[in-house]
Chains A and B, each alone.
Chain A
Amino acid sequence: MSSDTVFRIDELRKEFGGLVAVDDLSFDLQDDEILGLIGPNGSGKSTVFNCIMGIYDVTGGSVQFRDTDITKLDTHDIVNRGIARVSQESNPIPSSTVGENIDLFTYPNDIFSLTGGASQAEILDIARRFDLDEKLDTLPGSLPHADVRRLEIAKALATEPEMLLLDEPFAGMNQAEIRELSDQIRDIHAEGRPIIIVDHNMKGLMSIVDRVVVINSGQKIAEGSPEEIANDETVQKAYLAGAEVTN
């Protein structure tokens, strides 16, 4: 099977005052791929996602999605073009139930549309994928942590994305939950969605990513298969002699 480049960032640069958070970073993503973007804490991973999603204005470089330059678009335009991001923080609307939270993410971006969005049955389908179907009438505040994280992914999928950005999806989860979520991520990918996963720890990612890009201080320091990266000396140095990579 041949694959095409669906997404590319080119010489991406983001400076905050004098601080260079992302330093002329380039990588691409094939349409049949799960890419891991890893790096120590503070290496600029989340900043890269924020630049992709239009939350930060970039200082230089470009972001391309399906041969279109999306560098300067607003967040909602980027989402409507087919990129959804699950951010590190959980962001549910606290006064709305799980079902209403998912529903909200299916509403048309139309100021004259009084109705619309997903049907109840479609919401039920999305919720079922993440074992939230019995909790649709629950408020997010009374969900356990893992369910809140699942809700975030369910919301992202409700926007019907063509590509997914996952920011530390395994944070705070136990081993059983990590395994289950890994399976769900593989399923989402198997439906034809390329995925980029950010994590500071390779352990959870090893089994699901096809390729890894390692960044440190905003620069790419290595790129390759998970096995190559695990044995890469530069990477191990960046991670304080490999403690976090191999343990």
Chain B
Amino acid sequence: MSNEYDRSGEPVVQRFTREFLGEPNRYQIASAGVALLALLTVPFWAGQYLYVFALASIWAIFAMGWDIISGHTNYISFGHSALSGGAAYTTGVLVHNVNPDMAMYITFPLSILAAIVIGLLFAVPTLRLEGPYFSLITLLGVLVLTQLVYIYGEYTGGELGITAVSTLTYNLTNLYYYTLIPMLLIGAVLVVVSQSNIGRILRAIGENEAAIESSGIDTTRFKLWAFLMSAITMGIGGAMLAHFYGNITPSTVLVVDRSLEMVAIAVIGGMGTIAGPIGGAFVFIILRDEVLTVFGSTGRWLALWLIVLFFLVFLRDGIFPFIWSRIGSIGGGRDE
């Protein structure tokens, strides 16, 4: 018999790699290696674009944070910038109002905690409900939080924001690695989670939640866990973004547009895959901040959203799953 279930003699290590990495062919392994190498060597081949690559790394963290809950379970959040923005503002408000020299080892954990608290505020009441409630409440959440920032302008700097946050470094090469390395570490953790039982259960929840409940899985607990992982990721990214810009304004870290960009990145990269949204972030941010600027400051947004629309219509599974399966079919694919 030739199906993949007749593997009684398979060595443990081989089973383990297959469980978590699938069975990529040599071309897939090579392409993933080349992509990783390309990211690690950006200063040598795209030195003038280091800033935008660093920014894209942070957006990759956001897109992964969105993907582990929304891309997997299909509980679509339209307000994830409330989590990252909440974390960025926590860093900013602490530095601005409490102590300008407050160390990162204090502000960073508190910012992540803020993202978790904001996340649980949304998640606990809504993740039990099916249908559009989750999406609507996340959307309202970010709108409310944005208004709160304006109302408490005395502490938050209002529309102009807070400028007192220390930047990570002025050396662009260092800045790039300060964002790339955490992104890759988060990516590694989330790829393992996504490929494990947990990821399979989360994706199954997205396809048929009632069926999974009848397998003895507490779906609510898994959704909360996914949301918690998401909030931690958003918190890390949010605090990093605060130090990346050195200032925090509603329009750069919080407004609902930023949430929609996270959704768009995950969608064009490939929802539910973690690695796809990483690639999506680089495509999206480089298009937004470099390529499409030829259309002018308003035209680039129009062009950007039209491109996203194009992907939604013609390549709904995203760029990277498409490329991955194309490479996978070289030489007859896995069933050769």
Contacts and interface: CB of A to CB of B under 8 A. Distances in A.
Interface of A: 53, 55, 74-77, 79-80, 84-85, 87, 91-96, 99-100, 104-105, 107-109, 111, 113-117, 120-121, 123-124, 127, 133-134, 136-137, 155, 158-159
**Does more than half of chain B's interface fall in helix, strand or loop, or is it mixed?**
helix
Contacts of B7: 120
B14 interface: no
A104 B216 CA distance: 10
B198 A114 contact: yes
A134 B3 contact: yes
A99 B208 CA distance: 17
Contacts of A74: 213, 218
B216 A113 contact: no
Contact of A91 (B197, B208, B217): B208
Given A76-B217, A94-B207, A133-B1, A104 B6 contact: no
B225 interface: yes
20 contacts: A75-B213, A77-B218, A79-B214, A80-B216, A91-B211, A93-B204, A93-B211, A111-B221, A111-B222, A111-B225, A113-B196, A113-B197, A113-B198, A114-B193, A114-B197, A115-B197, A120-B8, A121-B8, A136-B5, A159-B215
B322 to A, nearest CB: 15
A54 to B, nearest CB: 9
Contact of B216 (A79, A124, A134): A79
**Does more than half of chain A's interface fall in helix, strand or loop, or is it mixed?**
loop
Nearest to A121: B8
B210 interface: yes
B5 A123 contact: yes
Interface of B: 1, 3-8, 10, 16, 19, 192-193, 196-198, 200-201, 203-204, 207-208, 210-219, 221-222, 225
A76 B218 contact: yes
Nearest to B218: A76
Contacts of B204: 93, 96, 104
B214 A85 contact: yes
B76 to A, nearest CB: 18
A107 B197 contact: yes
Contact of A104 (B4, B215, B219, B221): B215
Nearest to A78: B216
A76 B4 contact: no
Contacts of B198: 111, 113-114
Name which of B193, B211, B214, B221 has the most chain A CB atoms within 10 A of its CB.
Answer: B214
B214 A99 contact: no
Nearest to A127: B5
B6 A120 contact: yes
Contacts of B19: 115
B197 A108 contact: yes
Given A79-B214, A87-B214, A115 B196 contact: yes
Contacts, number: 104
A168 to B, nearest CB: 16
A191 B57 CA distance: 56
Q: Which 5 A-B pairs have the closest CB atoms?
A: A114-B196, A79-B216, A91-B211, A105-B215, A111-B225
Contacts of A114: 192-193, 196-198
A87 B193 CA distance: 31
Nearest to A54: B213
Nearest to A161: B216
A107 B6 contact: no
Contacts of A108: 197
A158 B211 CA distance: 13
B225 A124 contact: no
A107 B201 contact: yes
Nearest to A111: B225
B218 A107 contact: no
Given A114-B193, A120-B8, A53 B214 contact: yes
Contacts of B222: 111
Given A74-B218, A120-B10, 19 more contacts: A53-B214, A75-B213, A79-B213, A85-B214, A91-B214, A92-B211, A99-B5, A107-B217, A108-B197, A109-B217, A109-B218, A114-B198, A115-B16, A115-B19, A120-B4, A120-B7, A120-B8, A136-B4, A159-B215
A76 B216 contact: yes
A8 to B, nearest CB: 22
A193 to B, nearest CB: 16
Nearest to B193: A114
Name which of B203, B217, B221 has the most chain A CB atoms within 10 A of its CB.
Answer: B217
A247 B4 CA distance: 46
A148 B19 CA distance: 26
Given A95-B207, A117-B197, A134 B218 contact: no
A42 B37 CA distance: 63
Nearest to B224: A111
B142 to A, nearest CB: 27
A19 B147 CA distance: 46
Nearest to B10: A120
